[in-house]
Structure 1
Amino acid sequence: MLLGTVRDCKGATHMAGLVRSWDAAKAAARMTRLRRARIAAGGITIAAAAALIAGCSSSPSTSSPPAATSSAPAASSSAPAAASSTPAASGPVRMAIFYYNPSPYGVASLAGAKAEAAKLGIQLDAFDGNNNPQLQTTQIQDAITTGKYKAFWVWGLDDVALTPVINKAISAGIKVACADYTWGTLAQQNTLAATQTCATTIGQSIAPEATNLETTMNGACTKAVGTGHCNIAFLPGLANYPTDTNRINQMTAYYKSKSNYTFTVMPPGQYDQTQSQSVAQTFFTAHKNINVFATFGDQMAQGALTALKLVGGYTPGQNILIIGYGGAQEIVNEVKTGLVYATLGLYPAGESKLGIQYLDDAVQGKSIPNLVNIIDPASRPAVINKAFLDAHPSYVPDWNLEGGLGTAG
């Protein structure tokens, strides 16, 4: 969940959660999630957040109130304007998904929810928070007022601010499930945990993300220079974005104690492919000795790859190793070919499929797990590298940089 004003993501993307997670809207997006995704919490403006996110490729956002969409063609919406609808079987259960933004990460979370809703015969209405916590609060309040919904699947843009309206939903008998991270403050999101607010929480812990990046960058350095000195360039998403700042600070402190590494933080790529290309082109024109490049978003990695072609002197997969973040289809394919060294995994569609499934069970009075860690070493790994892909040839990425579901091959 995003805390602050936004990731994922996923990474998703969050604000105080991870805008992921990545998506120009996770470049407009997520917060921490964009998770991830997963941004205004650290003094970041919504406009900057809109350049963000999640997860992952850029996507335009609008300043007008986002419309609600429905998985049932005849469904009406409580949002200011009705948008498109997709055919799905109508059922006795009607749910709402409140997702981060129209970035690839956010749209992928919606795609996963729609797929599961169609499978279960659930009528699903979708509300795009557009990286605006106040708007999302209004959307949730309006949805409660209609009395139409049995359950809410929430990708929170600002958990702390949203808690009062979520409590109103619970008091009204609406089942609420929470996506991406622990529902709460950024500190609470370091470790995935169940909360009284959410019937179930589905996501991952934030704290291991920096550690996983360190381990992956160290492996890349060993491949690139052996035991020699390794120069790492890191492209963050947003300046002063709490989740990014925390992870950058952790990694900077870690490498400061390692004499055989130089860790350089580049200007932020705004979780946007085009902006990241511009930043990377300027940086790599001036820096010709970088061994490893890493970032918080797969869409930013794609932008850097384009920049490296334009700059010249660098050959990804040979004299510079690239590390993405998000596990998007496009980057996973490039890991297979060796163009990209690795990407870290975010699972917006997978989270949504489970979220809708468990909400359906809860509405029917069945018991559901109050906590689900989306990370699974065999099916949803924290790190996706060639060794993993070689060992799991049937692995299917969770999502893609267009906001769709991943496919085999």
Structure 2
Amino acid sequence: MRRSPLARKSRLSLIALAAATALTLGACAADAGEAPAPSDDDSAAPAPTEETLQVAFISFAVANTYDEPMLAEIERVAAENNIEITVFDGNLDPNLQVTLVQDVIASGQYDGLITQPVFGPALVDITRQAIDAGLTVVNVDQILGDDFTTGATQVEGLAANVVFVPSEIGTKFGEQAVEACASQDLDPCNVAFLHDVKASAIGVALYDAFNAVVEGTPVQIVAEGETFYNPAAAQTAVADILTANADIDLIATSDQGLQGAVQAIEAAGRGLDEFLMIGYGGSAWGKERVSEGVVYSNVVQAPATEGRLAMEAMVDALRNGNNQGDIDPFADFPNNGVMTRDTADQFTGEWVG
């Protein structure tokens, strides 16, 4: 729970008074002939215990397999630093996330807040209110703001900002589509593009960046679908696409979408080797399929790394008063964060897929 400086000083004064009283009583008892308790070092005092702090985490969606390792790392680092995490499930609903942050502020029970926005612009105002209310705020994974082409902080006062940039993923994704099609000398190269949430700002930024790269190349998007980050929904979408389009060369989507695509292809009695596939997410499933050659390449995301970096920044801010600003979770990744068959063994799939 957050305490004012006055409250903390008052509590320390009471502790000091109690300690002085205990020493006086102990001296009186010794004078009365009562032997003091034995001690190896009478001058030794117990080490002070850091106060338990409270941090709220506003999740994108607790049930999403991508979020699981992120939360696990947040909780691990928090536990190591005597910080308790309370998780609030945004459940892919930006309006719900706003309400949850309002509840956190109103409760007065939290020292810190970690935001993982469903829709960045929706959380800007309420996050500013949280900062003004005295909460230490770290943003993780998703952009907090309305510019999805930059990882720079867009809300003044954040203790740290640890995010991926949708347009950068889209750019790498487009480059991999061009490279995959060129590897088979396909011209044109007919692409089925599966959005995750087509109307989302993240989805739009990723798709726009993809199109900017493939414009003027043999890559042609001839069919689109939507996965909602759900393999079953992706399977249905790809089944419909394959029924309506006999000449699909490449399928491009997230790791969850590719799982559904593989199921749809196999259910249709087609061979996986009939299609090029590229993905993004960098999951354990994606790494395995890239290693096998089933998936051509995969643009990596790193939810566990993001969770660890975000919580370490929160600890530093709460315990030491240090703000770390913008943190690039992909700074040290090999091959520009793109997993290929030749580089797959250099990556760790940080989530199941």
Tell me the residue number matched to 1:264.
Answer: 222
- TM-superposition CA deviations, 1:382-407 (whole Å, max 9, x none): 322222224x2xx3222113xxxxxx
Tell me the residue number matched to 1:311.
Answer: 268
Structure 1: distance between partners of 2:187 and 2:132 = 60
- Please state how far the C-alpha of 1:176 moved relative to its aligned partner: 0.3
Aligned residues: 303
Seen in structure 2, the aligned counterparts of structure 1 residues 256 and 354 have a Cα distance that, compared at 3 Å, is closer
- Please state how far the C-alpha of 1:299 moved relative to its aligned partner: 0.7
- TM-superposition CA deviations, 1:56-97 (whole Å, max 9, x none): xxxxxxxxxxxxxxxxxxxxxxxxxxxxxxxxxx96222111
Aligned partner letter, 1:280: V
Tell me the residue number matched to 2:257.
Answer: 300
Tell me the residue number matched to 2:66.
Answer: 105
Q: Runs of 5+ in structure 1 lacking a partner?
A: 1-89, 402-409
Tell me the residue number matched to 2:31.
Answer: none
Tell me the residue number matched to 1:324.
Answer: 279
Tell me the residue number matched to 1:9.
Answer: none
- Please state how far the C-alpha of 1:254 moved relative to its aligned partner: 4.7
Question: TM-score w.r.t. structure 1 length?
Answer: 0.68
- Please state how far the C-alpha of 1:113 moved relative to its aligned partner: 1.3
Structure 2: distance between partners of 1:162 and 1:262 = 36
Give secondary structure in 2 for the equivalent of 1:193.
coil
- Please state how far the C-alpha of 1:311 moved relative to its aligned partner: 1.2
2:105 is aligned with 1:144: yes
Tell me the residue number matched to 1:36.
Answer: none
Deviates more, 1:211-220 or 1:165-174: 165-174
2:352 is aligned with 1:397: no
Seen in structure 2, the aligned counterparts of structure 1 residues 380 and 138 have a Cα distance that, compared at 3 Å, is farther
Structure 1: distance between partners of 2:197 and 2:119 = 17
Structure 1: distance between partners of 2:274 and 2:60 = 37
Tell me the residue number matched to 2:204.
Answer: 245
Structure 1 segment 4-403 matched on structure 2, within 5 A: 92-101=52-61, 102-185=63-146, 188-195=147-154, 196-223=156-183, 225-226=184-185, 228-252=187-211, 254-258=213-217, 260-295=218-253, 297-315=254-272, 318-378=273-333, 382-390=337-345, 392=346, 395-401=347-353
Return the structure number with greater helix share: 2
Tell me if the contact between 1:98 and 1:126 (Cα under 8 Å) persists in the aligned partners. yes
Question: TM-score w.r.t. structure 2 length?
Answer: 0.78
- Please state how far the C-alpha of 1:192 moved relative to its aligned partner: 1.0
Q: Runs of 5+ in structure 2 lacking a partner?
A: 1-49
Give secondary structure in 1 for the equivalent of 2:226.
coil
- TM-superposition CA deviations, 1:234-267 (whole Å, max 9, x none): 1112343333234334434554523x33322322
Structure 1: distance between partners of 2:199 and 2:125 = 27
Seen in structure 2, the aligned counterparts of structure 1 residues 362 and 256 have a Cα distance that, compared at 3 Å, is closer
Question: Aligned residues: percent identity?
Answer: 25
